[in-house]
Chains A and B, each alone.
Chain A
Amino acid sequence: MSLPDQLKHINISTRISILLGLVILLTMGVFSTLSLLKQKDDSIDIITNNSKQLCETIEKILRFSMLENRRDEITKALKDIVGKDGIRTVRILNHEGLIKFSSKKSDINQQISQSNPRCTGCHINKDNMLESSAKNFVNYRIDNQKNLVYNFLPIYNERSCYTEACHPTGKQSFSATELQSYNYHDSLQTVLGFIETEVSTEKIASNLVQTRTQLIIITIIMALMASVLTYFSIRTLVGKPVRNLVEGTRRVAKGNLKEEIPPGKAELGELSNSFNLMQKQLLTTQSQLIESEKLASIGKLADEIAYEISNPLTGIIIFSENLIKDSDEERIKDCEVIHNEALRIREIVRNILTITQRELPEFKETNVSEVINHSISIVNKLSNFQNIQIVNRSQKSLPNIPADPGLLEQVFLNLLLISSESMLSGGIINVSTDYVKDSSELDITFSDTGKGVPEQIIQRLSDSNNTSGLGSTERTGISLAVCKNIIEMHKGKFTIESKIDSGTTINIKLPVNS
């Protein structure tokens, strides 16, 4: 497995912790480096400023000693300064680069070349020793290898430097020999020489190394602490709920819908709650599915049994009818029992079929008027409607409603067939619809002039699941219950009014927008 693949398997807490640690290391590293550089620059600035001030002080203190040519005093003073604040050496050089005084004895009378940085700091280059402008004047030099800072202070020529007033002879003019012995300076000279201090930066360097080490240690500790804290925080606040969710998902995938995951409050908590809700809904749907599958299996089995029974039962019924016709009186009674019981079995079978053959609706835009017309056209072809007049008053311009046209046709056909059974010697069936524009319901009415539906059947209709009448001759009731159930599946209302020997009126209200 390659490294990127291995990284993919590291959990989210570890990944974020490592990432945060690296970010802190990088940020702190950059910050520390910049801080150290700034600190170094600032320290050098301080040293150079201090050195400059020191040079200026030396120049002021030693001016009289120099004017009066008190060489021993100058040398002693330079030696006294050394050792304080990292000052290693102090030198005074003349304009020609000759070291006239130094705290280090071996330096005295040494000549420095014109290419030396001490000279090129003020002069353009070694070939052209013209003085550069004050703007380009560089009064210090850093030697990083030796950890040294050199500071230069020019000693400018003043009247007192080239007049006799301050010198011991008191003469106005001097011979060349006199000038050499008294160290008089030329009045045309601008700069007589310079004071040079050599300051060690070793202390600064060691301080910087110490600070750097401290910063590295602090950075590593901070990164580690942040990583560890982040790791445990994410593990507790994110990892645990996520793990619960993952385990929950796996449980659901395995089909275990009963065990819930611990609820919470924040975003992940809401996710857990939603997951539990989804699981509950899944459980409900699964139960419904199992229930409907069971019902479907029972329905299929009932269908098979009913079909298998129907053939031999036809034989029993017809042959027993024949026996009744041909037998003597004593046997007729026995045959009638067989016949009646066979008819009873038939009713039971048909009632079971009516209940189990319920189908799920497939909703689509349906024109109720067309379904009514089609149902009427079907029954009009049947011989049992020979003496029945169907008056169709359904409106042509009805709005389309969401419904299963097949199931609605089953309802209308059932209602028409039930009416025909109650009017064996003929009668009238009125079918009408009523719809007021923009209303929410569509009204359908079937009324007949038949012998009516018994009160007990109407009462039992209020409980459509009551199948206690399967064994009796209540097929009409069961058919009506099926019709009511289909209408209720369409979120409609099914009401029945009936008067014995006067007729039945059935009213259906279907929602226009389901």
Chain B
Amino acid sequence: MQKQIKILAIDSEEIILKSIRKAFDSDEKSEYIITTCDTAMEGLKLIRNDIYDLVLLDLAMPGINGIEILKRIKKLNQDIPIIILSGYSSKSSYSNVISSGARNVLLKPFTTTELKSIVSGIFKIENSKE
């Protein structure tokens, strides 16, 4: 049996977390295990206690700067790929987050296809490295 991919989704919006779960859980034999949390602190705690293959991180979490969480996650696990979920597309979006260590940016609102394609794209690169 193929190894299941563990994804952690951190977003303050419950509907986004539900949508991510729905997008990945709909397959009968899902290759993804989705964990969700709605605060940055809880997300960091989960990363500290468990190993995840990928993090989907909201850039606009209340009370804390998204880039700051990104850097903290990178501090905990340098190799973990992070995809930023952003509601904005300002000029600094790509430049800042990619420079801070994110692998890609997924603009909200997104479709199931866009979400899966961006995630699978990351693992294709990861697999090709191996």
A310 — which chain B residues lie within 8 A by C-beta?
87, 108-109
Q: How far is the CA of A406 from the CA of B15 in the complex (A)?
A: 33
Q: A325 within 8 Å of B by Cβ?
A: yes
- What string of 1s and 0s marks CB contacts (under 8 Å) between B10-29 and chain A? 00010110111011001000
B118 — which chain A residues lie within 8 A by C-beta?
383-384
Number of cross-chain contacts by CB at 8 Å: 102
- What string of 1s and 0s marks CB contacts (under 8 Å) between A277-289 and chain B? 0000000000000
Q: How far is the CA of A374 from the CA of B94 in the complex (A)?
A: 11
- What string of 1s and 0s marks CB contacts (under 8 Å) between B88-121 and chain A? 1111101100110001100111111001011001
- Checking A306, A314, A410 against B91 with a beta-carbon cut-off of 8 angstroms, the contacting residue is A410
Contact B15–A321 (Cβ < 8 Å):
no
Q: A382 within 8 Å of B by Cβ?
A: yes
Contact A318–B125 (Cβ < 8 Å):
no
Q: How far is the CB of B105 from chain A (nearest CB, A)?
A: 8
Contact B15–A314 (Cβ < 8 Å):
yes
Q: How far is the CB of A325 from chain B (nearest CB, A)?
A: 7
Q: How large is the interface on B (under 10, 10 to 19, 20 to 34, 35 or more residues)?
A: 35 or more
Contact B124–A386 (Cβ < 8 Å):
yes
Q: How far is the CB of A195 from chain B (nearest CB, A)?
A: 119
Q: A164 within 8 Å of B by Cβ?
A: no
Residues of A in contact (CB 8 Å), total 38
A311 — which chain B residues lie within 8 A by C-beta?
13, 15-16, 87, 108-109
Look across to chain B and name the residue whose beta carbon is closest to the beta carbon of A357.
Answer: B90
Stretch among A33-41, A106-114, A346-354, A446-454 lining the B interface: A346-354
Q: How far is the CA of A322 from the CA of B20 in the complex (A)?
A: 12
Contact A322–B26 (Cβ < 8 Å):
yes
Q: B69 within 8 Å of A by Cβ?
A: no
Contact A306–B111 (Cβ < 8 Å):
no
Q: A319-B19, A322-B26, A346-B109 are in contact. Are A307 and B98 (CB under 8 A)?
A: no
Q: B47 within 8 Å of A by Cβ?
A: no
Count chain A CB atoms within 10 A of each CB in B13, B90, B111, B125 and give the residue with the most. B111
Chain A residues within CB distance 8 Å of chain B? 303, 306-307, 309-319, 321-322, 325, 342-343, 346, 349-350, 353-354, 357, 359, 374, 378, 381-384, 386, 406-407, 409-410, 413
Besides the known contacts A312-B15, A381-B98, 19 further A-B residue pairs in the complex with CB atoms under 8 A apart: A309-B109, A310-B109, A311-B13, A311-B15, A311-B108, A315-B16, A316-B109, A319-B22, A321-B23, A322-B22, A322-B112, A378-B98, A381-B103, A383-B104, A383-B117, A383-B122, A406-B95, A409-B95, A413-B95
A-B contact pairs, 6 of them (CB 8 A): A307-B60, A314-B109, A350-B107, A378-B98, A383-B124, A409-B95
